Chains A and B, each alone.
Chain A
Protein backbone atom coordinates (compact mmCIF):
# COMPACT_ATOMS: atom_id res chain seq x y z
CA UNK A 1 0.00 0.00 0.00
CA UNK A 2 1.54 3.31 -1.10
CA UNK A 3 -0.96 5.64 0.56
CA UNK A 4 -2.91 4.92 3.71
CA UNK A 5 -5.87 6.75 5.20
CA UNK A 6 -5.42 10.01 3.35
CA UNK A 7 -8.49 12.18 3.78
CA UNK A 8 -8.71 15.63 2.22
CA UNK A 9 -11.22 18.27 1.23
CA UNK A 10 -9.80 21.04 -0.93
CA UNK A 11 -11.55 24.01 -2.49
CA UNK A 12 -10.49 26.27 -5.37
CA UNK A 13 -8.64 29.57 -5.37
CA UNK A 14 -5.58 28.28 -3.53
CA UNK A 15 -2.15 26.79 -4.04
CA UNK A 16 -1.69 23.64 -2.00
CA UNK A 17 1.87 22.44 -1.54
CA UNK A 18 2.38 18.72 -1.24
CA UNK A 19 5.47 18.10 0.85
CA UNK A 20 7.38 15.17 2.20
CA UNK A 21 10.68 13.35 1.83
CA UNK A 22 11.43 11.06 -1.11
CA UNK A 23 9.04 8.12 -1.17
CA UNK A 24 6.49 9.85 1.05
CA UNK A 25 3.72 9.33 -1.51
CA UNK A 26 3.47 12.80 -3.10
CA UNK A 27 3.53 11.57 -6.70
CA UNK A 28 1.26 8.66 -5.81
CA UNK A 29 -1.34 11.01 -4.35
CA UNK A 30 -1.23 13.25 -7.42
CA UNK A 31 -1.50 10.28 -9.79
CA UNK A 32 -4.40 8.88 -7.79
CA UNK A 33 -6.20 12.21 -7.98
CA UNK A 34 -5.54 12.30 -11.73
CA UNK A 35 -7.21 8.91 -12.05
CA UNK A 36 -4.05 7.07 -13.06
CA UNK A 37 -3.82 4.71 -10.10
CA UNK A 38 -6.45 2.45 -8.55
CA UNK A 39 -7.51 3.16 -4.98
CA UNK A 40 -10.07 2.13 -2.45
CA UNK A 41 -12.24 4.84 -0.93
CA UNK A 42 -13.94 7.82 -2.42
CA UNK A 43 -12.70 10.67 -4.61
CA UNK A 44 -15.15 13.43 -5.45
CA UNK A 45 -14.38 16.09 -8.02
CA UNK A 46 -16.62 19.10 -8.31
CA UNK A 47 -19.17 17.28 -6.15
CA UNK A 48 -19.23 14.17 -8.36
CA UNK A 49 -17.76 10.74 -7.74
CA UNK A 50 -14.61 10.59 -9.89
CA UNK A 51 -15.18 6.96 -10.89
CA UNK A 52 -18.46 8.00 -12.54
CA UNK A 53 -16.71 10.49 -14.80
CA UNK A 54 -15.56 9.58 -18.29
CA UNK A 55 -11.92 10.10 -19.25
CA UNK A 56 -12.63 13.23 -21.29
CA UNK A 57 -14.91 14.72 -18.66
CA UNK A 58 -12.28 14.12 -16.01
CA UNK A 59 -9.57 15.62 -18.19
CA UNK A 60 -11.65 18.80 -18.51
CA UNK A 61 -11.77 19.02 -14.70
CA UNK A 62 -8.27 17.89 -13.70
CA UNK A 63 -4.97 18.57 -15.47
CA UNK A 64 -1.85 16.66 -14.50
CA UNK A 65 1.81 17.40 -15.19
CA UNK A 66 4.06 14.44 -14.33
CA UNK A 67 7.51 14.72 -12.86
CA UNK A 68 9.02 12.85 -15.80
CA UNK A 69 7.20 12.94 -19.13
CA UNK A 70 7.38 9.97 -21.47
CA UNK A 71 7.04 12.29 -24.45
CA UNK A 72 10.18 12.40 -26.59
CA UNK A 73 8.73 12.82 -30.06
CA UNK A 74 9.67 15.31 -32.76
CA UNK A 75 6.31 17.04 -32.41
CA UNK A 76 6.16 20.83 -32.82
CA UNK A 77 5.70 22.50 -29.45
CA UNK A 78 2.40 24.06 -30.51
CA UNK A 79 1.02 20.60 -31.28
CA UNK A 80 2.09 19.34 -27.86
CA UNK A 81 0.25 22.24 -26.21
CA UNK A 82 -2.75 21.56 -28.47
CA UNK A 83 -2.96 18.04 -26.99
CA UNK A 84 -4.38 19.77 -23.94
CA UNK A 85 -7.51 20.46 -25.97
CA UNK A 86 -8.12 16.80 -26.85
CA UNK A 87 -10.90 16.36 -24.28
CA UNK A 88 -12.70 19.44 -25.65
CA UNK A 89 -12.73 18.35 -29.29
CA UNK A 90 -15.74 16.95 -31.16
CA UNK A 91 -15.80 13.42 -32.57
CA UNK A 92 -13.93 14.57 -35.71
CA UNK A 93 -11.19 16.22 -33.67
CA UNK A 94 -11.57 19.60 -35.33
CA UNK A 95 -10.14 22.53 -33.35
CA UNK A 96 -12.29 25.64 -33.06
CA UNK A 97 -11.60 29.25 -32.17
CA UNK A 98 -11.85 28.52 -28.43
CA UNK A 99 -9.20 25.82 -28.77
CA UNK A 100 -6.88 28.24 -30.55
CA UNK A 101 -7.32 30.96 -27.94
CA UNK A 102 -6.76 28.49 -25.07
CA UNK A 103 -3.54 27.26 -26.71
CA UNK A 104 -2.27 30.79 -27.35
CA UNK A 105 -3.10 31.85 -23.81
CA UNK A 106 -1.37 28.82 -22.28
CA UNK A 107 1.75 29.47 -24.34
CA UNK A 108 1.74 33.13 -23.41
CA UNK A 109 1.39 32.40 -19.68
CA UNK A 110 4.28 29.94 -19.75
CA UNK A 111 6.48 31.97 -22.08
CA UNK A 112 6.59 29.15 -24.62
CA UNK A 113 5.26 31.01 -27.66
CA UNK A 114 8.88 31.58 -28.73
CA UNK A 115 9.27 27.78 -28.88
CA UNK A 116 6.06 27.16 -30.83
CA UNK A 117 7.64 25.86 -34.04
CA UNK A 118 10.51 23.96 -32.43
CA UNK A 119 10.53 20.20 -32.02
CA UNK A 120 9.68 19.07 -28.51
CA UNK A 121 12.51 16.51 -28.46
CA UNK A 122 15.04 19.27 -29.24
CA UNK A 123 14.18 21.30 -26.16
CA UNK A 124 16.13 21.44 -22.92
CA UNK A 125 14.65 19.67 -19.90
CA UNK A 126 13.53 22.95 -18.37
CA UNK A 127 11.88 24.09 -21.61
CA UNK A 128 10.08 20.76 -21.83
CA UNK A 129 8.68 21.31 -18.33
CA UNK A 130 7.28 24.67 -19.39
CA UNK A 131 5.71 23.20 -22.52
CA UNK A 132 4.09 20.41 -20.49
CA UNK A 133 2.73 23.03 -18.10
CA UNK A 134 1.36 24.93 -21.10
CA UNK A 135 -0.32 21.71 -22.25
CA UNK A 136 -1.95 21.35 -18.83
CA UNK A 137 -3.07 25.00 -18.85
CA UNK A 138 -4.58 24.55 -22.31
CA UNK A 139 -7.04 22.07 -20.81
CA UNK A 140 -8.58 24.98 -18.84
CA UNK A 141 -9.12 22.51 -16.01
CA UNK A 142 -10.05 24.00 -12.63
CA UNK A 143 -7.82 21.55 -10.77
CA UNK A 144 -4.12 21.56 -11.64
CA UNK A 145 -1.87 18.78 -10.32
CA UNK A 146 1.85 19.42 -10.75
CA UNK A 147 4.59 17.02 -9.75
CA UNK A 148 7.75 18.95 -8.92
CA UNK A 149 7.33 21.53 -11.68
CA UNK A 150 10.29 23.66 -10.60
CA UNK A 151 12.81 20.82 -10.78
CA UNK A 152 15.39 21.59 -13.49
CA UNK A 153 14.10 25.13 -14.01
CA UNK A 154 16.53 28.02 -13.66
CA UNK A 155 15.81 30.44 -10.84
CA UNK A 156 14.10 32.96 -13.13
CA UNK A 157 11.70 30.45 -14.62
CA UNK A 158 11.13 28.74 -11.27
CA UNK A 159 10.10 32.06 -9.68
CA UNK A 160 7.96 32.96 -12.67
CA UNK A 161 6.28 29.58 -12.51
CA UNK A 162 5.47 29.92 -8.81
CA UNK A 163 4.12 33.39 -9.53
CA UNK A 164 2.01 31.92 -12.33
CA UNK A 165 0.61 29.25 -10.00
CA UNK A 166 -0.45 31.94 -7.56
CA UNK A 167 -2.02 33.88 -10.41
CA UNK A 168 -3.99 30.80 -11.53
CA UNK A 169 -5.19 30.23 -7.97
CA UNK A 170 -6.31 33.85 -7.72
CA UNK A 171 -8.51 33.19 -10.75
CA UNK A 172 -10.27 30.32 -9.01
CA UNK A 173 -8.12 27.27 -9.77
CA UNK A 174 -7.09 24.69 -7.21
CA UNK A 175 -3.36 24.22 -7.77
CA UNK A 176 -1.85 21.23 -6.04
CA UNK A 177 1.89 21.08 -6.40
CA UNK A 178 4.41 18.58 -5.10
CA UNK A 179 7.57 20.40 -4.09
CA UNK A 180 10.88 19.42 -2.58
CA UNK A 181 12.04 22.92 -1.72
CA UNK A 182 10.33 23.99 1.50
CA UNK A 183 11.26 27.64 0.91
CA UNK A 184 9.46 27.54 -2.46
CA UNK A 185 6.45 25.98 -0.79
CA UNK A 186 6.44 28.59 1.99
CA UNK A 187 6.69 31.34 -0.58
CA UNK A 188 4.08 30.15 -3.06
CA UNK A 189 1.42 28.13 -1.26
CA UNK A 190 -1.63 28.96 0.83
CA UNK A 191 -1.92 25.54 2.38
CA UNK A 192 0.44 22.63 2.74
CA UNK A 193 0.05 18.89 3.14
CA UNK A 194 2.91 17.01 4.73
CA UNK A 195 3.20 13.33 3.85
CA UNK A 196 5.48 10.69 5.33
CA UNK A 197 5.45 6.97 4.64
CA UNK A 198 2.20 7.24 2.69
CA UNK A 199 0.33 8.93 5.54
CA UNK A 200 -0.85 12.48 5.91
CA UNK A 201 1.18 13.84 8.85
CA UNK A 202 0.12 17.48 8.84
CA UNK A 203 -2.28 19.66 6.87
CA UNK A 204 -3.19 23.30 7.20
CA UNK A 205 -2.03 26.81 6.38
CA UNK A 206 1.44 26.70 4.84
CA UNK A 207 2.99 28.79 7.64
CA UNK A 208 1.80 26.26 10.23
CA UNK A 209 2.80 23.11 8.37
CA UNK A 210 6.20 24.43 7.28
CA UNK A 211 7.23 25.15 10.84
CA UNK A 212 9.86 23.82 13.19
CA UNK A 213 8.06 20.87 14.79
CA UNK A 214 6.48 19.13 11.75
CA UNK A 215 9.61 19.66 9.65
CA UNK A 216 11.84 18.24 12.40
CA UNK A 217 9.49 15.28 12.84
CA UNK A 218 9.28 14.39 9.14
CA UNK A 219 12.59 15.52 7.68
CA UNK A 220 14.74 15.40 10.83
CA UNK A 221 16.18 18.86 10.14
CA UNK A 222 15.94 22.24 11.81
CA UNK A 223 14.54 25.30 10.08
CA UNK A 224 17.01 28.18 9.91
CA UNK A 225 14.84 31.30 10.20
CA UNK A 226 17.21 33.73 8.46
CA UNK A 227 18.40 32.40 5.14
CA UNK A 228 21.76 33.69 3.90
CA UNK A 229 20.19 34.80 0.66
CA UNK A 230 17.04 34.29 -1.34
CA UNK A 231 15.47 35.35 -4.62
CA UNK A 232 12.38 37.26 -5.67
CA UNK A 233 11.09 38.74 -8.89
CA UNK A 234 11.72 42.49 -9.43
CA UNK A 235 8.73 44.56 -8.35
CA UNK A 236 7.78 45.51 -11.91
CA UNK A 237 8.21 41.98 -13.24
CA UNK A 238 5.09 40.06 -12.45
CA UNK A 239 4.81 37.65 -15.32
CA UNK A 240 7.07 35.09 -16.91
CA UNK A 241 10.40 36.51 -18.16
Chain B
Protein backbone atom coordinates (compact mmCIF):
# COMPACT_ATOMS: atom_id res chain seq x y z
CA UNK B 1 0.00 0.00 0.00
CA UNK B 2 2.85 2.34 0.95
CA UNK B 3 4.55 1.78 -2.37
CA UNK B 4 1.34 2.53 -4.34
CA UNK B 5 0.91 5.72 -2.35
CA UNK B 6 4.53 6.70 -3.01
CA UNK B 7 4.13 6.18 -6.75
CA UNK B 8 0.87 8.17 -6.67
CA UNK B 9 2.64 11.05 -4.93
CA UNK B 10 5.51 10.93 -7.44
CA UNK B 11 3.08 10.92 -10.35
CA UNK B 12 1.18 13.83 -8.80
CA UNK B 13 4.48 15.73 -8.39
CA UNK B 14 5.30 15.14 -12.05
CA UNK B 15 1.86 16.20 -13.25
CA UNK B 16 1.98 19.25 -10.99
CA UNK B 17 5.44 20.26 -12.20
CA UNK B 18 4.43 19.82 -15.85
CA UNK B 19 1.21 21.84 -15.37
CA UNK B 20 3.12 24.59 -13.59
CA UNK B 21 5.80 24.64 -16.28
CA UNK B 22 3.16 25.02 -19.00
CA UNK B 23 1.31 27.81 -17.21
CA UNK B 24 4.19 29.85 -15.78
CA UNK B 25 6.73 31.92 -17.68
CA UNK B 26 7.27 35.02 -19.73
CA UNK B 27 4.33 35.99 -21.92
CA UNK B 28 0.62 35.79 -21.18
CA UNK B 29 -1.48 32.78 -22.11
CA UNK B 30 -4.51 35.04 -21.97
CA UNK B 31 -3.53 36.46 -25.36
CA UNK B 32 -5.14 34.09 -27.89
CA UNK B 33 -2.62 35.02 -30.61
CA UNK B 34 0.33 33.96 -28.42
CA UNK B 35 -1.24 31.07 -26.53
CA UNK B 36 -0.52 28.19 -28.94
CA UNK B 37 3.02 29.45 -29.66
CA UNK B 38 3.85 29.87 -25.97
CA UNK B 39 2.37 26.50 -25.06
CA UNK B 40 4.30 24.86 -27.90
CA UNK B 41 7.59 26.38 -26.79
CA UNK B 42 6.98 25.55 -23.16
CA UNK B 43 5.90 21.98 -24.00
CA UNK B 44 9.19 21.41 -25.82
CA UNK B 45 11.14 22.69 -22.81
CA UNK B 46 9.06 20.61 -20.45
CA UNK B 47 9.62 17.52 -22.59
CA UNK B 48 13.38 18.13 -22.71
CA UNK B 49 13.63 18.68 -18.95
CA UNK B 50 11.49 15.64 -18.29
CA UNK B 51 13.58 13.40 -20.54
CA UNK B 52 16.91 14.70 -19.22
CA UNK B 53 15.81 14.39 -15.58
CA UNK B 54 14.39 10.89 -16.02
CA UNK B 55 17.49 9.74 -17.91
CA UNK B 56 20.00 11.16 -15.41
CA UNK B 57 18.14 9.88 -12.34
CA UNK B 58 17.77 6.39 -13.84
CA UNK B 59 21.43 6.38 -14.84
CA UNK B 60 22.33 7.40 -11.29
CA UNK B 61 20.33 4.55 -9.76
CA UNK B 62 22.02 2.07 -12.09
CA UNK B 63 25.62 3.19 -11.49
CA UNK B 64 25.03 3.40 -7.75
CA UNK B 65 23.83 -0.21 -7.90
CA UNK B 66 26.68 -1.43 -10.09
CA UNK B 67 29.35 0.25 -7.94
CA UNK B 68 27.47 -0.45 -4.67
CA UNK B 69 28.08 3.15 -3.75
CA UNK B 70 25.26 5.67 -3.23
CA UNK B 71 27.71 8.54 -3.67
CA UNK B 72 28.36 8.08 -7.38
CA UNK B 73 26.54 9.57 -10.36
CA UNK B 74 26.45 8.74 -14.09
CA UNK B 75 29.42 11.09 -14.60
CA UNK B 76 31.69 8.54 -12.85
CA UNK B 77 32.00 6.57 -16.09
CA UNK B 78 33.41 9.47 -18.07
CA UNK B 79 30.65 9.10 -20.65
CA UNK B 80 28.96 12.28 -19.45
CA UNK B 81 32.14 14.29 -20.00
CA UNK B 82 32.55 12.50 -23.35
CA UNK B 83 29.03 13.43 -24.43
CA UNK B 84 29.61 17.01 -23.33
CA UNK B 85 32.89 17.22 -25.26
CA UNK B 86 31.21 15.68 -28.29
CA UNK B 87 28.46 18.30 -28.12
CA UNK B 88 30.96 21.15 -27.88
CA UNK B 89 33.03 19.76 -30.77
CA UNK B 90 29.86 19.47 -32.85
CA UNK B 91 29.01 23.12 -32.17
CA UNK B 92 32.52 24.18 -33.07
CA UNK B 93 32.49 22.11 -36.26
CA UNK B 94 29.18 23.59 -37.27
CA UNK B 95 30.37 27.16 -36.87
CA UNK B 96 33.71 26.43 -38.54
CA UNK B 97 31.84 25.02 -41.57
CA UNK B 98 33.44 21.59 -41.31
CA UNK B 99 32.27 18.69 -43.52
CA UNK B 100 29.92 17.71 -40.69
CA UNK B 101 27.75 20.66 -41.58
CA UNK B 102 27.37 19.51 -45.17
CA UNK B 103 26.38 15.96 -44.23
CA UNK B 104 22.79 14.86 -44.55
CA UNK B 105 22.23 16.03 -40.99
CA UNK B 106 20.33 19.19 -40.25
CA UNK B 107 22.09 21.80 -38.14
CA UNK B 108 19.86 21.22 -35.12
CA UNK B 109 20.73 17.52 -35.07
CA UNK B 110 24.49 18.07 -35.10
CA UNK B 111 24.61 18.75 -31.34
CA UNK B 112 22.75 15.56 -30.29
CA UNK B 113 24.80 13.58 -32.78
CA UNK B 114 28.01 15.00 -31.32
CA UNK B 115 26.87 14.08 -27.81
CA UNK B 116 26.12 10.52 -28.90
CA UNK B 117 29.46 10.17 -30.66
CA UNK B 118 31.34 11.60 -27.67
CA UNK B 119 29.55 9.27 -25.26
CA UNK B 120 30.10 6.38 -27.69
CA UNK B 121 33.84 7.04 -27.86
CA UNK B 122 34.24 7.18 -24.10
CA UNK B 123 32.01 4.12 -23.77
CA UNK B 124 34.27 2.22 -26.18
CA UNK B 125 37.29 3.12 -24.05
CA UNK B 126 35.53 2.16 -20.81
CA UNK B 127 34.36 -1.16 -22.29
CA UNK B 128 37.91 -1.94 -23.41
CA UNK B 129 38.87 -1.93 -19.74
CA UNK B 130 35.63 -3.55 -18.53
CA UNK B 131 36.62 -7.20 -18.89
CA UNK B 132 35.24 -10.18 -17.00
CA UNK B 133 37.77 -9.98 -14.18
CA UNK B 134 38.24 -6.22 -14.12
CA UNK B 135 37.51 -4.82 -10.68
CA UNK B 136 35.18 -1.89 -10.13
CA UNK B 137 38.15 0.19 -8.98
CA UNK B 138 39.72 -0.07 -12.45
CA UNK B 139 36.40 0.99 -13.94
CA UNK B 140 36.15 3.98 -11.59
CA UNK B 141 39.74 5.01 -12.31
CA UNK B 142 39.17 4.68 -16.07
CA UNK B 143 36.08 6.87 -15.76
CA UNK B 144 37.93 9.40 -13.63
CA UNK B 145 40.85 9.65 -16.09
CA UNK B 146 38.49 9.96 -19.06
CA UNK B 147 36.46 12.64 -17.28
CA UNK B 148 39.62 14.60 -16.49
CA UNK B 149 40.85 14.32 -20.07
CA UNK B 150 37.52 15.30 -21.60
CA UNK B 151 37.05 18.20 -19.18
CA UNK B 152 40.51 19.50 -20.09
CA UNK B 153 39.63 19.26 -23.79
CA UNK B 154 36.29 20.95 -23.11
CA UNK B 155 38.11 23.83 -21.45
CA UNK B 156 40.33 24.08 -24.52
CA UNK B 157 37.27 24.26 -26.77
CA UNK B 158 35.73 26.91 -24.53
CA UNK B 159 38.91 28.96 -24.93
CA UNK B 160 38.82 28.49 -28.72
CA UNK B 161 35.21 29.61 -28.78
CA UNK B 162 36.20 33.03 -27.33
CA UNK B 163 36.95 34.19 -30.89
CA UNK B 164 33.26 34.35 -31.67
CA UNK B 165 30.82 35.95 -29.22
CA UNK B 166 27.88 33.81 -30.41
CA UNK B 167 29.94 30.66 -30.28
CA UNK B 168 31.31 31.51 -26.86
CA UNK B 169 27.79 32.13 -25.55
CA UNK B 170 26.49 28.87 -27.00
CA UNK B 171 29.35 26.81 -25.54
CA UNK B 172 29.02 28.39 -22.09
CA UNK B 173 25.26 27.96 -22.16
CA UNK B 174 25.66 24.29 -23.12
CA UNK B 175 28.26 23.77 -20.40
CA UNK B 176 26.04 25.28 -17.72
CA UNK B 177 23.01 23.28 -18.83
CA UNK B 178 19.59 24.36 -20.04
CA UNK B 179 16.64 23.27 -22.11
CA UNK B 180 15.84 26.66 -23.61
CA UNK B 181 17.04 26.10 -27.15
CA UNK B 182 15.82 22.55 -27.65
CA UNK B 183 13.88 21.88 -30.83
CA UNK B 184 11.05 19.41 -31.32
CA UNK B 185 13.25 17.30 -33.61
CA UNK B 186 15.96 17.09 -30.96
CA UNK B 187 13.34 16.10 -28.44
CA UNK B 188 11.98 13.32 -30.64
CA UNK B 189 15.51 12.10 -31.33
CA UNK B 190 16.22 11.79 -27.59
CA UNK B 191 12.82 10.27 -26.71
CA UNK B 192 13.46 6.70 -27.97
CA UNK B 193 16.96 6.66 -26.45
CA UNK B 194 15.64 7.64 -23.03
CA UNK B 195 12.59 5.37 -23.28
CA UNK B 196 14.53 2.31 -24.40
CA UNK B 197 17.36 3.08 -21.96
CA UNK B 198 15.01 3.24 -18.96
CA UNK B 199 13.15 0.06 -19.96
CA UNK B 200 16.45 -1.77 -20.58
CA UNK B 201 17.76 -0.76 -17.15
CA UNK B 202 14.48 -1.82 -15.56
CA UNK B 203 14.74 -5.23 -17.23
CA UNK B 204 18.16 -5.64 -15.59
CA UNK B 205 16.71 -4.85 -12.14
CA UNK B 206 17.13 -8.35 -10.67
CA UNK B 207 20.73 -8.51 -11.82
CA UNK B 208 21.44 -5.08 -10.36
CA UNK B 209 19.91 -6.25 -7.05
CA UNK B 210 22.25 -9.23 -7.00
CA UNK B 211 25.25 -7.01 -7.71
CA UNK B 212 24.54 -5.37 -4.33
CA UNK B 213 26.07 -8.53 -2.85
CA UNK B 214 29.38 -7.84 -4.55
CA UNK B 215 30.88 -9.44 -7.61
CA UNK B 216 31.91 -12.76 -6.07
CA UNK B 217 28.57 -13.49 -4.47
CA UNK B 218 26.60 -12.33 -7.51
CA UNK B 219 28.78 -14.51 -9.69
CA UNK B 220 28.28 -17.54 -7.43
CA UNK B 221 24.52 -16.99 -7.69
CA UNK B 222 24.61 -17.16 -11.46
CA UNK B 223 25.20 -13.56 -12.61
CA UNK B 224 27.57 -13.07 -15.55
CA UNK B 225 29.12 -10.10 -13.77
CA UNK B 226 31.29 -8.82 -16.61
CA UNK B 227 28.43 -8.97 -19.09
CA UNK B 228 26.02 -7.33 -16.63
CA UNK B 229 28.47 -4.49 -15.97
CA UNK B 230 29.08 -3.92 -19.69
CA UNK B 231 25.33 -3.71 -20.35
CA UNK B 232 24.78 -1.38 -17.41
CA UNK B 233 27.64 0.89 -18.52
CA UNK B 234 26.27 0.93 -22.08
CA UNK B 235 22.74 1.91 -21.09
CA UNK B 236 23.97 4.55 -18.65
CA UNK B 237 26.08 6.02 -21.47
CA UNK B 238 23.04 6.09 -23.78
CA UNK B 239 20.93 7.79 -21.10
CA UNK B 240 23.69 10.31 -20.29
CA UNK B 241 24.21 11.15 -23.97
CA UNK B 242 20.48 11.68 -24.54
CA UNK B 243 20.20 13.80 -21.38
CA UNK B 244 23.13 16.02 -22.34
CA UNK B 245 21.89 16.35 -25.92
CA UNK B 246 18.65 17.97 -24.72
CA UNK B 247 19.70 19.46 -21.37
CA UNK B 248 23.41 20.19 -21.54
CA UNK B 249 25.55 19.65 -18.46
CA UNK B 250 23.18 19.21 -15.54
CA UNK B 251 24.66 17.90 -12.33
CA UNK B 252 23.32 16.37 -9.10
CA UNK B 253 20.12 14.85 -10.58
CA UNK B 254 21.67 11.40 -10.89
CA UNK B 255 23.09 11.69 -7.42
CA UNK B 256 20.29 13.02 -5.22
CA UNK B 257 17.18 11.53 -6.83
CA UNK B 258 18.04 7.83 -6.21
CA UNK B 259 19.41 8.80 -2.80
CA UNK B 260 16.14 10.55 -1.88
CA UNK B 261 13.99 7.67 -3.07
CA UNK B 262 15.69 4.67 -1.45
CA UNK B 263 14.20 5.28 2.01
CA UNK B 264 10.76 5.64 0.36
CA UNK B 265 10.64 2.80 -2.18
CA UNK B 266 13.49 0.59 -1.01
CA UNK B 267 16.68 -0.48 -2.73
CA UNK B 268 15.11 -2.98 -5.15
CA UNK B 269 15.80 -1.66 -8.64
CA UNK B 270 12.49 -2.92 -10.01
CA UNK B 271 10.81 -0.29 -7.82
CA UNK B 272 13.61 2.25 -7.66
CA UNK B 273 14.13 2.77 -11.41
CA UNK B 274 10.53 3.79 -12.30
CA UNK B 275 10.42 6.01 -9.21
CA UNK B 276 13.70 7.67 -10.27
CA UNK B 277 12.35 8.28 -13.76
CA UNK B 278 9.25 10.00 -12.30
CA UNK B 279 11.02 12.11 -9.67
CA UNK B 280 14.02 12.91 -11.89
CA UNK B 281 11.68 14.23 -14.58
CA UNK B 282 9.59 16.19 -12.08
CA UNK B 283 12.69 17.65 -10.40
CA UNK B 284 14.24 18.97 -13.60
CA UNK B 285 10.93 20.34 -14.90
CA UNK B 286 10.54 22.21 -11.58
CA UNK B 287 14.12 23.48 -11.80
CA UNK B 288 13.41 24.76 -15.31
CA UNK B 289 10.40 26.67 -13.98
CA UNK B 290 12.67 28.33 -11.42
CA UNK B 291 15.18 29.12 -14.19
CA UNK B 292 12.48 30.89 -16.16
CA UNK B 293 10.77 32.86 -13.41
CA UNK B 294 13.81 33.83 -11.34
CA UNK B 295 14.16 37.62 -11.52
CA UNK B 296 17.35 38.05 -13.49
CA UNK B 297 18.60 39.88 -16.59
CA UNK B 298 18.90 36.58 -18.41
CA UNK B 299 17.58 33.09 -17.79
CA UNK B 300 19.41 31.21 -15.06
CA UNK B 301 21.33 28.15 -16.30
CA UNK B 302 19.65 24.88 -15.32
CA UNK B 303 22.90 23.37 -14.06
CA UNK B 304 23.33 26.25 -11.62
CA UNK B 305 19.87 25.68 -10.13
CA UNK B 306 20.31 21.91 -9.80
CA UNK B 307 23.66 22.58 -8.15
CA UNK B 308 22.25 25.14 -5.69
CA UNK B 309 19.37 22.82 -4.75
CA UNK B 310 21.25 19.55 -5.11
CA UNK B 311 24.31 20.27 -2.99
CA UNK B 312 22.50 21.11 0.30
CA UNK B 313 19.90 18.38 -0.28
CA UNK B 314 22.71 15.89 -0.78
CA UNK B 315 24.47 17.06 2.37
CA UNK B 316 21.25 16.64 4.36
CA UNK B 317 20.72 13.14 2.95
CA UNK B 318 24.33 12.30 3.70
CA UNK B 319 23.97 13.50 7.30
CA UNK B 320 20.79 11.43 7.68
CA UNK B 321 22.43 8.33 6.26
CA UNK B 322 25.34 8.72 8.67
CA UNK B 323 22.85 8.83 11.53
CA UNK B 324 21.73 5.35 10.55
CA UNK B 325 19.10 5.91 7.88
CA UNK B 326 19.78 3.16 5.39
CA UNK B 327 20.41 3.92 1.78
CA UNK B 328 21.40 0.49 0.52
Contacts and interface: CB of A to CB of B under 8 A. Distances in A.
Given A70-B68, A70-B216, A83-B213, A75 B267 contact: yes
Interface of B: 68, 133, 205-207, 209-210, 212-214, 216-217, 219-224, 262, 266-268, 326-328
B222 A75 contact: no
A56 B224 CA distance: 8
Contact of A59 (B133, B206, B216, B221): B221
Contact of B220 (A34, A54, A79): A34
Query: Most A CB atoms within 10 A — which of B133, B219, B224?
Result: B219
Given A79-B268, A87-B222, 5 more contacts: A36-B216, A55-B219, A73-B267, A75-B268, A121-B328
B144 to A, nearest CB: 22
Chain A interface residue bracket vs B: 20 to 34
A60 interface: yes
Contacts of B68: 70
A119 B328 CA distance: 10
B326 A35 contact: no
Contact of B222 (A58, A69, A73): A58
Given A74-B326, A75-B268, A59 B220 contact: yes
Nearest to B227: A55
A38 to B, nearest CB: 8
B223 A86 contact: yes
B327 A74 contact: yes
A216 interface: no
10 contacts: A35-B219, A36-B219, A70-B216, A74-B266, A75-B267, A75-B268, A75-B328, A83-B213, A86-B207, A122-B326
Given A56-B222, A70-B214, A119 B326 contact: yes
A119 B262 CA distance: 13
Nearest to A138: B221
Contact of A93 (B206, B267, B326): B206
Nearest to A56: B222
A69 B175 CA distance: 42
Contacts of B214: 69-71
A178 interface: no
A79 B222 contact: no
A74 B267 contact: yes
A192 interface: no
